[in-house]
Amino acid sequence: MSELHTLIDPKKIPLHVAIIMDGNGRWAQKKNLPRIEGHRRGAEIIEPIVEAAANIGIKYLSLFAFSTENWSRPADEVKALWQLLEMFFKMKLALINEKGVKIIFSGTFRRLPPTAKNVIEEAIRQTKNNNRITINFCINYGGRQEIVDAVNLWIQKRKPTEALTERKLSSCLYQPRLPDVDLLIRTSGEYRISNFMLWRLAYAELVFMNVLWPDFREKHLYLALHEYQKRERRFGGL
Ligand code: IPE
Ligand code: IPE
Ligand code: MG
């Protein structure tokens, strides 16, 4: 375990950490490899980072794996990403399950290849009783789409003349019981949210890191947590 680990105050661990796992393509291009090789290496990092997050006491970890806008990429990259996703769940599910990790999903199954949907549903089913850490896989996820889907769900459930509130809208999001994000980490050196978790990010602390996702290691997680613990969160108060 990295020495940086000792910098972390165990009493101030964020409940919900979200990561925009960005920079796979650039990692590959820098090495003159095809972009998909970057995605493959990026996928390999997920399991050890989940393990480190669980060990340090993070209870919810959201991982942005594919956005609703990523469909605009070349068809062969999109196809390879779905194949990789299926492979990831097929290869890693037993290990993930053994480690007490619960998998949940945020996004929409609309447009997803049926085989990808099947592996995700199987992972959710097999891990539903685990409680060491919850991994919220954000796949075919868009923050605006989530809010639109929540409003449409609300419209179906509402009584005539009943008004929408923040609490009611929260209860219609993809994962109603997921807490707000405390810490958002984005890798790759880009300073933007890219339509991730718009509702739940309202008061998140943002940490942007100049490391490409395939190079992300435990030490980067500890650095981000250390940075988070130095911040003063005010939530609009004093
Ligand atoms: C993130 O890496 C993974 C996905 C969006 C699927 P990118 O593929 O966006 O990598 P860069 O940003 O082009 O380097
Ligand atoms: C965000 O990264 C989506 C994921 C990491 C899955 P993008 O690479 O798609 O975002 P932009 O295009 O740089 O904003
Ligand atoms: Mg990117």
Task: Round to whole Å and give the CA distance between 178 and 38.
Answer: 30
Residue 138 lies in a domain: yes
3-state secondary structure of 182: coil
Q: 14 phi and psi, to 5 degrees?
A: -65, 140
Residue 234 resides in a domain: no
Task: Give the model's pLDDT for residue 4.
Answer: 82
Q: Where are the alpha helices (DSSP H) in 15-174?
A: 24-30, 35-56, 75-98, 114-127, 143-157, 166-170
- The response to whether residue 140 sits with its C-beta less than 6 Å from ligand 1 reads no
Q: Looking at the whole model, is its pTM more than 0.95?
A: yes
- The CA distance from 121 to 230, in Å, is 38
Residue among 26, 190, 195 to mutate when testing ligand 1 (max atoms within 8 A of CB): 26
Residue 149 in any domain: the answer is no
Ligand 1 in reach of 108 Cβ (< 6 A): no
Quick count: other Cβ atoms within 10 Å of Cβ 182?
Answer: 21
Q: Which of 107, 47, 49 is nearest to 82 (CA)?
A: 107
Residue 30 CA, ligand 3 centroid: distance in Å: 14
pLDDT at 6: 87
Q: What is the CATH number of the domain that holds 25?
A: 3.40.1180.10
- Per the prediction, the chain carries an average pLDDT of 97
Please indicate, yes or no, if residue 108 is contained in any of the structural domains: yes
Atom of ligand 2 nearest to the CA of 64: 6
- Residue 198, domain extent: 15-142+180-228
158-217 per-position pLDDT tens digit = 999 999 999 999 999 999 999 999 999 999 999 999 999 999 999 999 999 999 999 999
Domain annotation covers residue 216: yes
Is residue 25 in some structural domain? yes
pLDDT in tens, 113-166: 999 999 999 999 999 999 999 999 999 999 999 999 999 999 999 999 999 999
Q: Is residue 1 a part of any domain in this protein?
A: no
Q: What total number of domains does the chain contain?
A: 1
From 19, 20, 21, 22, the mutation candidate for ligand 1 (largest count of ligand atoms within 8 A of CB) is: 22
Length of the chain: 238
Catalytic residues: 22, 70
User: What single-letter amino acid sits at 118?
Assistant: N
Residue 165 placed within a domain? no
Residue 138 Cα to ligand 1 midpoint, Å, equals: 14
